[in-house]
């Protein structure tokens, strides 16, 4: 039999016995102890226990305390009415208790379902750190079975490097300096691996003002931490590459006037940018401030930057910036709308060498042309001398056979 039902059935018997012992002092109040007993039976076992307790109490009172005693006869209408009212009150209270019991059960079922099926780890923790209740998700995070975890404290599985910070938060909560706290820390799993979690804790206080238990919400952030670690590694690699590039690098945001590209702001530049151009402290400034007159002297450069920033494909070009006295070879592309990245090298020396080479080639061509002209004049003069010698009957002094061979070809 259900223990609560058994107690509900015994309670009116106990009340009847006590009332029998004290009847000399309690009479004529027949229901003085039996009515609370009926209510107690309802509290113990709801509708079933309350009705049973009320009926047993009514039968006992009718037999032992309602005249004529030791019988179930009724001599007065009021006595019968009091019995009916007693059973009715007991039944009504039992019905209310049953409704309350069912409501509590529904709440407990919902709470249990929410606790166990939550997508994050949930735990109730004693003030000394022992786990009082844990859900399946928390057990999956730390790799322990529920019964194993309940035999430990949160200190047992917290990474030593994070424990002091956690304990300090706990101390401040117990001292009422904090109502809640949140931190990222590491747990040591059963298999020895470390897992990063985000911990949020609140403290429940008992009615007498003593700390009762902590409510801990544990979110597994191991994947996020791994991504963050990979990003940090990538950022360090990028920064190393960025700082060690031999080419100048500039990330800029394009500015427009009436829809036309007119200016841009330097968002980031690498050390090579400063070394190659001699321009310093350009980040956050407009190019019109850094290189005045660039738009007027190099409108095609601003046009290319604007075209790429608006979604055009990557472009390459060479340009002479008069304000700096330098030639640049530039590759430009757009990482996002209205932004562009320019990677460049200074080619001033190359351009000077190309110009000098072109000048020398032109001089050589002029010299070659002059030399060929003189050589032709000499051949003509030798031919005339040879002709005069033949007219005089002499042997021509100059051999011009190679000229005759070339003409024949």
Indicate whether 407 pLDDT > 60: no
* CATH class of the 245-346 domain in this structure: alpha beta
Please compute the mean of the pLDDT values over residues 175-187 and round it to a whole number: 94
Task: Taking residues 320-345, report their average pLDDT.
Answer: 93
Q: What CATH topology corresponds to 118-225? A: Beta-Lactamase (3.30.450)
pLDDT at 124: 94
Residue-wise pLDDT tens digits, 75-123: 888 888 999 999 999 999 999 988 888 888 888 888 788 788 888 999 9
Is residue 150 very low, low, confident or very high in pLDDT (cuts 50, 70, 90)?
A: very high
DSSP letters for 44-99: HHHHHHHHHHHHHHHHHHHHHTSSSTTS-----HHHHHHHHHHHHHHHHHHHHHHH
Q: CA distances (Å), 129 to each of 184, 199, 216, 287, in order?
A: 18, 14, 11, 61
Please report, for residues 253, 269, 297, the alpha-carbon distance to residue 328 in angstroms, rounded to integers and kept in the order given: 20, 16, 14
- Dist. CA 183–CA 279, nearest whole Å: 44
Two tokens, residue 54: 């009320």
Residue 239 pLDDT grade (very low, low, confident, very high; cuts 50, 70, 90)? confident
pLDDT of the residue at 264: 95
C-alpha neighbours within 13 Å on the C-beta side of residue 305: 30
Judge if 118-225 and 245-346 fold alike in CATH terms: yes
The 10s digit of each residue's pLDDT in 242-281 is 787 889 999 999 999 988 999 999 999 999 999 999 999 9
Q: In this structure, what token pair is assigned to residue 352? A: 């000077």
Instruction: Collect all residues with Cβ–Cβ distance below 8 Å to 225 and sequence separation of at least 6.
Output: 196
Q: Is the per-residue pLDDT at 408 higher than 50?
A: no
**pLDDT-wise least confident of 27-36, 234-243, 310-319:** 234-243
Query: Is there a contact between 283 and 264 (Cβ–Cβ < 8 Å)?
Result: no
User: Would you kindly state where each structural domain of the chain is located, as residue ranges?
Assistant: 3-115, 118-225, 245-346, 352-408
């Amino acid at each position: 039999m259900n223990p609560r039902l058994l107690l509900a059935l015994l309670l009116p018997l106990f009340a009847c016995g006590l009332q029998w012992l004290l009847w000399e002092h309690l009479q004529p109040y027949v229901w003085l102890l039996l009515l609370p007993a009926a209510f107690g039976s309802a509290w113990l076992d709801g509708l079933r226990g309350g009705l049973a307790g009320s009926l047993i109490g009514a039968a006992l009172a009718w037999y032992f305390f309602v005249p004529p005693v030791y019988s179930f006869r009724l001599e007065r209408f009021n006595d019968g009415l009091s019995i009916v009212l007693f059973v009715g009150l007991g039944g009504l209270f039992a019905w209310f208790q049953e409704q309350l019991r069912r409501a509590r059960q529904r709440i407990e079922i919902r709470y249990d379902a929410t606790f166990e099926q939550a997508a994050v780890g949930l735990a109730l923790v004693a003030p000394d750190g022992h786990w009082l209740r844990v859900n399946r998700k928390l057990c999956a995070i730390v790799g322990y079975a529920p019964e194993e975890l309940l035999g430990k404290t949160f200190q047992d599985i917290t990474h030593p490097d994070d424990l002091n910070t956690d304990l300090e938060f706990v101390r401040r909560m117990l001292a009422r300096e904090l109502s809640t706290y949140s931190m990222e820390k590491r747990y040591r799993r059963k298999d020895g691996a470390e897992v990063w979690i985000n911990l949020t804790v609140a403290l429940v206080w008992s009615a007498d003002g003593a700390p009762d238990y902590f409510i801990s919400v544990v979110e597994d952030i191991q994947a996020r931490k791994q991504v963050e670690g990979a990003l940090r590694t990538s950022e360090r690699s990028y920064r190393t590459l960025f700082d060690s590039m031999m080419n100048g690098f500039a990330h800029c945001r394009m500015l427009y006037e009436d829809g036309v590209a007119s200016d841009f702001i330097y968002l980031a530049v690498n050390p090579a940018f400063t070394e190659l151009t001699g321009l310093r402290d350009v980040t956050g400034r407009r190019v019109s401030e850094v290189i005045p007159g660039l738009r007027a002297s190099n409108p095609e450069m601003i046009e290319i930057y604007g075209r790429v920033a608006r979604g055009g494909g990557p472009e390459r070009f060479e340009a002479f910036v008069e304000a700096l006295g330098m030639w640049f070879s530039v590759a430009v592309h757009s990482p996002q709308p209205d932004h562009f990245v320019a990677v460049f090298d200074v080619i001033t020396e190359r351009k000077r060498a190309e110009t000098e080479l072109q000048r020398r080639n032109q001089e050589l061509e002029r010299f070659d042309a002059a030399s060929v002209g003189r050589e032709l004049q000499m051949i003509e003069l030798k031919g005339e001398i040879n002709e005069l010698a033949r007219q005089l009957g002499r042997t021509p002094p100059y051999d011009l056979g190679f000229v005759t061979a070339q003409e024949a070809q």
